[in-house]
Amino acid sequence: QVQLVESGGGLVQAGESLRLSCAASGRTFTSYAMAWFRQAPGKEREFVTTVDWSGVVTYYADSVKGRFTISRDNAKNMAFLQMNSLKPEDTAVYFCAAGTNGATIFENKYNYWGQGTQVTVSS
C-alpha cells in the first residue's frame, strides 16, 4: 500500500513558477513509477508527466513539454513537479499517482492516487 500526499499548489500569475511535491508512504517507493495528472473544471483528468523508478525515463504531455519537469528523490520517498512559465490553461487540480506498470501515460495503469492540490494561474 502507498499513500500519496501532494503539496505546493497555490495561486500565481501567468509566467510564474510553482513546485509541487508528492510525499509517499511505504518502504517500496522504488517499485513505483510516479506521475502527475491534472483535472481542470468541467474537464476530464489528463496526463501531465511521468517518471520511472530510476528517475531516468520521463514522458510529458505536449502541452507542458519544455515548461514542466518531473523528478523524484528515492531516498526521501518524494516526487516533484517543477512548473515554469505557467499559463492560465494550466489551472487545475493536480494529482500525484503511483503505479507498478512502469512509466506510462495511461491513467488506469496507476494504482494509487493522492487527493490533489489546486493550482490556479491568473492572467
Q: How far apart are CA 7 and CA 118, in angstroms?
A: 9
Look at residues 85, 65, 80, 76 and name the one whose alpha carbon lies nearest to residue 34: 80
Asked if residue 27 has pLDDT above 80, the reply is no
Look at residues 15, 67, 6 and name the one whose alpha carbon lies nearest to residue 35: 6
Confidence of residue 26 (pLDDT cuts 50, 70, 90): confident
Predicted pLDDT at 1: 84
Question: Strands 10-13, 117-122: parallel, antiparallel or unpaired by DSSP?
Answer: parallel
Predicted pLDDT at 118: 98
Q: What is the mean pLDDT of residues 99-119?
A: 96
List phi, psi (to 5°) of 10: 170, -170
Q: How far apart are CA 8 and CA 31, in angstroms?
A: 24
Identify the three-state secondary structure at position 100: coil
